[in-house]
Amino acid sequence: MSELLDTALQLDQNDPLKRYREQFYIPVDVQGKAKIYFCGNSLGLQPKEATRYLQESLDKWQSQVVEGHFEEPDPWVSYHKLLKAPLAHITGAHEHEVVAMNNLTTNLHLMMVSFYRPSGQRYKILLESGAFPSDQYAVESQVRFHGYDPEDAIIEVKPQPGQETLCIDDIVATMQKHQEKIALVLFPGVQYYTGQYIDIQKITEAAHQIGAKAGFDLAHTVGNIPLQLHDWNVDFAVWCTYKYLNSGPGNNGGVFVHERYANDTSLPRFSGWWGHDEKERFQMKKGFKPMYGADGWQLSNVNILSASVQRYALEMIARAGMENLRKKSIQLTGFLQSCIHEADPEGQHVKIITPTNPEERGCQLSMFVLKEDKKLFQKLTEAGIMVDWREPNVIRIAPNPLYNTFEEVYHFYEILKTTLHVY
Ligand SMILES: *Cc1c(COP(=O)(O)O)cnc(C)c1O
């Protein structure tokens, strides 16, 4: 047996999280053979038991009908509260600082309504260059909404020439250079394309030092890296739950709003009845009185069918524990990195652009395909490996510590090596 395979099997055997894999549906090919799924950064696998909570909600709807809003068990009127404990664990927040609602882009708009408040000289937003398109469109439209020109009002930080990832000192230096002009600093935690983790605490501190607000898009960060959003003093954060949180396609996203704004009625916000003081919500009176904390930003009643699935998925992550997931994730991705190196020792075929330091990345590795172009991706796909291709030449590989194994990483290595040998 090869040394690498031996290592992989050992690591799997000693993996304290190994029992979670069988709790997911693993995709299979036409012969029924399990595929190797490394796309959990895009859409997490389906937890088998999630249908139990979904079925309960369907049954409740069938039997209790409209009374289900207030009747036990789990009245719909407060269903979103069931998601708070696991979300607080995942984001390092108090329960009143988080709420599940809407989708990520909607939430980003709602947060910018409250936290992007341009005035006088201070009207610019600092972003990374190459931000996820939805974030770019949201930011551009917000800037225009306030009457500014995106060309002028958006400042982008780029990687150094010849580099693929951002240097945190450059981000801080850019903030200082434009310190009177920046109203909002908006960064991802983990960058979707490169897999780089950008230190949320440092960015927040630097933003606050220049008098700007710090917001984060945590689409690729929640469930991937343990967070301490409260202690790091982050102003707001938004996320979706279908990536590392395994809640299913298009499920409800979420927001974090720091406790210091919990009672802040001076912040402008776009309001709806679900954000109104719940004690008076059904009195149907005029005059919006926000709920304490993140709940005050809710617009609508929660999508219960989605939230049921999400509830199971989030509880599962909280049970596994973010610290345990991270520990395995560092090992698993480290193993993947050595395997890629073994398959292409001279670095002639592929180049990993994700930082090699585990502190600066989550579980995803992104690699440039130097020679083979999209054919390499197609060959991997034909061999039953699910990774993704991002134009112009990147393959993203994200082994998820909740359901992927070291042995799968080993098989990926075998296939990659064989494929590269053909060229
Ligand atoms: C996945 C992702 C989104 C998706 O936005 P939705 O509103 O949930 O469709 C947005 N931003 C980033 C950075 C993402 O990775």
- Residue 45 belongs to a domain: no
Which residue among 277, 293, 319 closes a domain? 319
Question: 288, 319, 350 — which closes off a domain?
Answer: 319
Distance 11 CA to ligand 1 centre (A): 33
227-272 pLDDT, tens digit each: 999 999 999 999 999 999 999 999 999 999 999 999 999 999 999 9
* Closest to 383 (Cα-Cα) out of 122, 106, 137, 29: 29
107-133 mean pLDDT = 97
- Could you tell me the pTM of the whole model? 0.97
Residues 223 and 195 in one domain: yes
Per-residue pLDDT at 421: 81
What is each CA distance from 261 to 15, 124, 166, 206, 409, in whole angstroms?
41, 22, 30, 20, 44
Instruction: Compute φ and ψ for 135, nearest 5 degrees.
Output: -65, -40
Confidence (pLDDT) at 133: 96
Same-domain pairing of 256 and 300? yes
**pLDDT tens track for 297-352:** 999 999 999 999 999 999 999 999 999 999 999 999 999 999 999 999 999 999 99
Tokens of 213: 């607000």
**pLDDT tens digits for 7-22?**
999 999 999 999 999 9
Residues 228 and 174 reside in one and the same domain: yes
Q: For residues 361 and 226, state if they share a domain.
A: no
Residues 125 and 183 in one domain: yes
Q: Is 45 left (phi over 0), alpha (psi -120 to 50) or beta?
A: beta
Closest C-alpha among 1, 5, 20 to residue 335: 5
Here the tokens at position 81 are 């509260």
Residues 294 and 234: beta-carbon distance below 8 Å? no
Please check whether residue 275 is in contact with residue 294, taking contact to mean a CB–CB distance below 8 angstroms. no
Q: Which ligand 1 atom is the nearest neighbour of the CA of 131? A: 13
Q: Is the CB of 188 under 6 A from ligand 1?
A: yes
Rounded mean pLDDT, 185-190: 98
- Which residue has the least CA distance to atom 14 on ligand 1? 219
Do both 199 and 251 map to the same domain?
Answer: yes
User: Is the distance from CB of 117 to CB of 268 less than 8 angstroms?
Assistant: yes
Q: Which of 101, 105, 107, 239 to mutate to test the pocket of ligand 1 (most atoms within 8 A of CB)?
A: 105
The per-residue pLDDT for 245 is 98
102 and 8 belong to one structural domain: no
Are 330 and 285 members of one domain?
no
* Ligand 1 centroid from CA 104, angstroms: 6
Instruction: Give the separation between CA 256 and CA 344, rounded to whole angstroms.
Output: 42
Closest C-alpha among 251, 353, 386 to residue 311: 251
Residue 397 included in any domain: yes
Percent of the chain with pLDDT over 90: 97
Q: How far apart are CA 343 and CA 346, in angstroms?
A: 9
State if residue 230 touches ligand 1 by the CB under 6 angstroms criterion: no
Q: Are residues 304 and 330 in the same domain?
A: no
Examine residue 47 and state whether it is found in any structural domain, yes or no: no
What's the CA-to-centroid distance between 337 and ligand 1, angstroms?
Answer: 26
User: What distance in angstroms lies between residue 63's CA and the mean position of ligand 1's atoms?
Assistant: 36
Which whole number is the average pLDDT over 399-404? 98
Find the CATH number of the domain harbouring 372: 3.90.1150.10
What distance in Å separates the CA atoms of residue 193 and residue 190, rounded to the nearest whole number? 9
Q: Is pLDDT above 90 for 365?
A: yes
Kindly state whether residue 39 falls inside one of the protein's structural domains.
no
Q: Are residues 155 and 18 in the same domain?
A: no
**Ligand 1 centroid vs 117 CA: distance in angstroms?**
23
Q: How far is the CA of 134 from the centre of ligand 1 (A)?
A: 6
Mean pLDDT of 176-185: 98
Domain around 27: 3-34+322-422
Count of the separate structural domains present in the chain: 2
The pLDDT confidence band at residue 372, using thresholds 50, 70 and 90, is: confident
Question: What would the pLDDT profile of 196-205 be if each residue is shown by its tens digit?
Answer: 999 999 999 9
Q: What's residue 356's pLDDT?
A: 97
Rounded to the nearest 5°, which phi and psi values hold at 44?
A: -70, 155
CATH code where residue 78 lies: 3.40.640.10
Tell me: do 141 and 182 sit in the same domain: yes
Give dist(CA 24, CA 36) in Å, integer. Answer: 13
- According to DSSP, residue 299 is labeled -
Is residue 153 in a domain? yes
* Helix axis angle, 322-343 to 3-13, nearest 10°: 170
> What is the arithmetic mean of pLDDT over 101-113?
98
> Is pLDDT above 80 for 1?
no
Q: Which of 3-12, 144-153, 245-254, 366-375 has the lowest mean pLDDT?
A: 366-375
What average pLDDT score do residues 378-392 get?
A: 96
SS3 state of residue 324: helix
Which of 256, 214, 302, 336 has its CA nearest to residue 90? 256
Cα 238 to ligand 1 centroid, rounded to whole Å: 9
With the most atoms of ligand 1 within 8 angstroms of its CB, the residue from 42, 43, 104, 197 to mutate is: 104
The residue to mutate among 132, 197, 255, having the most atoms of ligand 1 within 8 angstroms of its beta carbon, is 132
Going from the Cα of 287 to the center of ligand 1, the distance in angstroms, rounded, reads 33
Position 423 scores a pLDDT of 58
Choosing from 255, 285, 319, the residue where a domain stops is 319
Query: d(Cα 288, Cα 292) in Å, to the nearest integer?
Result: 13
Please report whether residue 40 resides in a domain: no
The crossing angle, in degrees rounded to 10, of helices 322-343 and 406-422 is 20
Tell me if 408 CB under 6 Å of ligand 1: no
Whether residue 195 has its Cβ less than 6 Å from ligand 1:
no
Q: Whose CA is nearest to atom 8 of ligand 1?
A: 104
Indicate if 143 and 231 belong to the same structural domain. yes
Bridge-partner residues for 133, per DSSP?
none
**Is 48 domain-assigned?**
no
Report whether residue 190 contacts ligand 1, using a CB cutoff of 6 Å: no
Q: Which atom of ligand 1 is nearest to the CA of 240?
A: 8
How much distance in Å is there from the Cα of 319 to the middle of ligand 1? 25
State the pLDDT at residue 351.
Answer: 97
Average pLDDT rounded to a whole number, residues 349-370: 97
The per-residue pLDDT for 281 is 87
Separation of CA 60 and ligand 1 centre (Å): 32
Which positions ≥6 away from 65 have C-beta within 8 Å?
A: none
The pLDDT, as a whole number, for residue 284 is 84
- The residues, ordered by sequence, that sit 6+ positions from 81 with a Cβ below 8 Å of its Cβ are none
192 lines ligand 1 (CB under 6 A): yes
